[in-house]
């Protein structure tokens, strides 16, 4: 039997200086920095540790050295398989790009009987059919849908109030399914609706074809109705009734709700969350207000700034964490999506946090008139006479003209986060995104000056807030690990 060697005998790292792998650092709080590698894995360090590591002065076999080596911030004389693994992880984060557009939004009509001040779409009266999508437009749009190489295709119907053009929804669903017999994709359908006009005919059709419903629920009755006025002032009551009826017909998990944050919401986050719990939802998505459409026109957006929204967000998140630690499972979806990028090697399909930007390559919009937009926000801008992100029209342009035109490629290239000032040296870049539409709308160019960007401020504070909470509590860390793998 040969002699057994000691562990130190196998550790060649003291024999030569270590070499840093690509990494970045950004301030977390007064005492520490966040360091990230190319795959978005993070380590916390003090400022002196940052300098020590960067200077080559970090000693082998110390806890920080071991952590940096384990997480692929350095290689040394002992091992270099980190290169293979980092390449694999980078590839994993980027691979979903090859799937191209997964979410296809059909604007079936601009008609709507609500008059929400934050609405991102121009309203039109109830009997104006010229704001409805035609079957011819739908067919041409479907041509483009099936040109996407994505295995999974989700068709989402929006508006106005999409159900006001139910015949067109039926037409698209049936035609898409017919084409899919040959195409063999994973097809999914969602109807975004305020549920106020949901009738049995629509419910039966949705049931037959496994269509999901997504509705707006802004909070308790008074808040919801204040945000979402309609004739009769009963938006909330109709929404609740619609949720109940839709769940009964389609199944509990077939109905989802999204909230929109307004100035009125900012002081009521717990009430809003309680309302979602009261209505038996398992999660909430605490969304920021986007500065488009009617929000901009009515100066609604200027009525609050990012720090107020951040207070709102973290008050809500902390409340939800408290509920979870007390044994009640409830997810905050925005955090879950961000955590997936932070804590796993996987990528999310959340369009707002993609780099290259999610415009057209994550989601695309076919408007009622055949105009193709790079995103819902692009459509909002067009309603305000800014057609920067209009990519063409289904009646006039082929797939290649739309997808390879400058209107799309210029903002994608210009805004790519790994290349632009501010982002290219930011430790949070692997978790963040590029939003050329937002920066164009707020600052006038695709890139924006990031220190002046509400998108940047908001995201950085969310990253910091999530990390601080994980560092402060192992229970929160475990909760976040679960969330990161649910979405």
Partner 1 sequence: MTGDSVGAIVVDFPSTAFSAEAVKRAAYALMARYDVAIGGDADVIRCAIRPAHPTVDMATAERDLRREVVDHDLRISIEQRTSPYRDAILGLAFSKTGLQDG
Partner 2 sequence: MITLRGRSIGFNAAAIERDSTILRLSSDERRPAPLKAREGYIHSHGDLPRGFGWYLLKSAEFIGQVPDGAPGAVLPQEFDYLGDGDVVRLEPARGGVRTLFRKASPYNHFMLTERCNNYCLMCSQPPRQIDDGWIVDEVLEALPLIDRGAAEIGFTGGEPTLLGSRFVQLVQATGSHLPKTALHVLSNGRLFAQGSLARDLAAVRHHDLMIGIPVYADLAHVHDHVVQADGAFDETIRGILALKQHGLRVEVRVVLQAQTIPRLTALARFLTRNLLFVDHVALMGLEITGFARANLDRIWIDPADYQAELAEAVGILDRAGMSVSIFNSQLCVLEPSLWPFARRSISDWKNEYMPECEGCEAKGMCGGFFSSAKYQYSRAIRPILSAAA
Measured distance CA(453)–CA(458) in Å, rounded: 8
Q: Which residue has the tokens 């632009």?
A: 420
CA distance 82 to 38: 11
Give the one residue of 39, 203, 420, 434 binding partner 2; rule: CB under 8 A: 39
81 binds partner 2 (CB under 8 A): yes
Q: From CA 485, how far away is CA 351, in angstroms rounded?
A: 18
The H-or-E segment that residue 464 falls in is helix 454-472
Name the minimum Å distance from CB 180 to partner 1: 22
Distance CA 351, CA 362 (A): 6
Stretch that binds partner 2, among 80-88, 171-179, 252-260, 297-305 (CB under 8 A): 80-88
Least distance (Å) from partner 2 to the CB of residue 478?
Answer: 6
Among the candidate windows 46-54, 68-76, 213-221, 310-318, which touches partner 2 by CB under 8 A?
A: 68-76
Q: Can you tell me which of 13, 120, 227, 459 binds partner 2, judged by CB under 8 A?
A: 13
Q: Which residue has the tokens 């996407």?
A: 148
Question: Please, which residue, 21 or 339, has the CB nearer to partner 1?
Answer: 21
Q: Which stretch binds partner 2 (CB under 8 A): 8-16, 50-58, 200-208, 304-312?
A: 8-16
Nearer to partner 2 by Cβ, of 84 and 385: the residue is: 84
> Could you tell me the smallest distance in angstroms from the CB atom of residue 255 to partner 1?
29
Q: Hey, what long-range contacts does 243-250 have (CB within 8 A, 24 or more apart)?
A: 243/195, 243/215, 243/217, 243/279, 245/198, 245/203, 246/195, 246/198, 246/203, 246/206, 246/213, 249/203, 249/204, 249/206, 249/207, 250/203, 250/206, 250/207, 250/211, 250/212, 250/213
Sites of contact with partner 1 (CB under 8 A):
19-25, 38, 50-51, 54, 83-84, 86-88, 90-92, 94-95, 345-346, 421-422, 425, 449, 451-452
Nearer to partner 2, 89 or 154 (CB): 89
Of 470, 471, 465, 472, the C-alpha closest to 482 is: 470
Q: Report the residue number, 422 or 465, with the smaller CB distance to partner 1.
A: 422
Binding mask 89-128 for partner 2 (x = CB under 8 A): x---------------------------------------
Least separation in angstroms between CB 13 and partner 2? 7
Q: Which residues pair with 204 in a beta bridge?
A: none
- For partner 2, which residue of 283, 344, 347, 473 counts as binding (CB under 8 A)? 344
Among 29, 80, 126, 280, binds partner 2 (CB under 8 A): 80
Rounded Cα gap, residues 101 and 153, in angstroms: 8
Q: Which of 4, 55, 253, 327 binds partner 2 (CB under 8 A)?
A: 4
Q: What is the largest CA-CA distance in the chain?
A: 91
Q: Is 299 in the site for partner 2 (CB under 8 A)?
A: no
Of 75-83, 107-115, 149-157, 465-473, the segment contacting partner 2 by CB under 8 A is 75-83
**49 and 67 in contact (C-beta within 8 Å)?**
no
Q: Which of 441, 287, 418, 400 is nearest to 354 (CA)?
A: 418
User: In whole angstroms, what is the distance from residue 83 CA to residue 19 CA?
Assistant: 12
For position 325 contacting partner 2 by CB under 8 A, the verdict is no
């Amino acid at each position: 039997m040969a002699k057994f060697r000691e562990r130190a005998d196998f550790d060649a790292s003291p024999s030569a200086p270590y070499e840093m792998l690509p990494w970045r650092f950004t301030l977390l709080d007064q005492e520490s920095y966040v360091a990230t590698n190319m795959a978005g894995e993070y380590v916390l360090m003090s400022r002196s540790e940052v300098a020590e590591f960067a200077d080559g002065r970090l000693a082998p076999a110390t806890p920080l050295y071991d952590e940096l080596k384990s997480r692929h911030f350095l290689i040394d004389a002992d091992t270099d398989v980190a290169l293979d693994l980092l390449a694999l992880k980078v590839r994993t984060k980027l691979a979903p790009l090859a799937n191209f557009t997964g979410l296809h939004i059909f604007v079936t009509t601009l008609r709507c009987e609500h008059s929400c001040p934050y609405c991102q779409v121009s309203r039109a009266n109830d009997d104006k059919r010229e704001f409805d999508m035609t079957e011819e437009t739908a067919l041409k749009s479907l041509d483009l849908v099936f040109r996407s190489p994505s295995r999974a295709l989700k068709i989402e119907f929006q508006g106005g109030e999409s159900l006001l053009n139910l015949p067109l929804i039926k037409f698209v669903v049936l035609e898409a399914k017919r084409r899919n017999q040959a195409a063999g994709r994973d097809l999914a359908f969602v109807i975004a609706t305020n549920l106020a006009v949901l009738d049995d005919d629509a419910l039966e059709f949705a049931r037959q074809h496994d269509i999901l419903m997504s509705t707006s629920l802004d909070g308790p009755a008074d808040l919801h109705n204040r945000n979402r006025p309609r004739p009769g002032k009963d938006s909330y009551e109709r929404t609740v009734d619609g949720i109940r009826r839709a769940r009964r017909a389609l199944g509990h998990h077939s109905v989802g709700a999204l909230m929109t944050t307004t100035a009125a919401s900012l002081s009521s986050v717990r009430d809003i969350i309680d309302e979602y719990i009261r209505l038996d939802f398992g999660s909430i998505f605490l969304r920021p207000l986007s500065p488009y459409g009617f929000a901009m026109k009515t100066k609604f957006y200027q009525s609050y700034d990012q720090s107020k929204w951040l207070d709102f967000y973290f008050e809500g998140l902390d409340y939800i964490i408290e509920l979870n630690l007390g044994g009640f499972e409830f997810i905050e979806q925005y955090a879950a999506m961000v955590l997936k990028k932070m804590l796993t090697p996987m990528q999310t399909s959340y369009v707002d946090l993609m780099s290259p930007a999610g415009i057209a390559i994550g989601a695309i919009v076919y408007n009622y008139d055949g105009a193709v937009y790079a995103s819902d926000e692009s459509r909002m801008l067009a309603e305000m006479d800014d057609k920067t992100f209009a990519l063409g029209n289904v009646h006039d342009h082929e797939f290649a003209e739309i997808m390879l035109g400058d209107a799309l490629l210029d903002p994608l290239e210009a805004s790519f986060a790994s290349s632009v000032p501010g982002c290219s040296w930011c430790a949070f870049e692997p978790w963040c995104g590029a939003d050329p539409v937002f920066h164009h709308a707020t600052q006038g160019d695709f890139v924006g000056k990031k220190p002046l960007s509400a998108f940047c401020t908001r995201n950085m504070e969310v990253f910091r807030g999530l990390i601080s909470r994980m560092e402060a509590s192992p229970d929160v860390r475990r909760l976040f690990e679960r969330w990161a793998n649910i979405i």
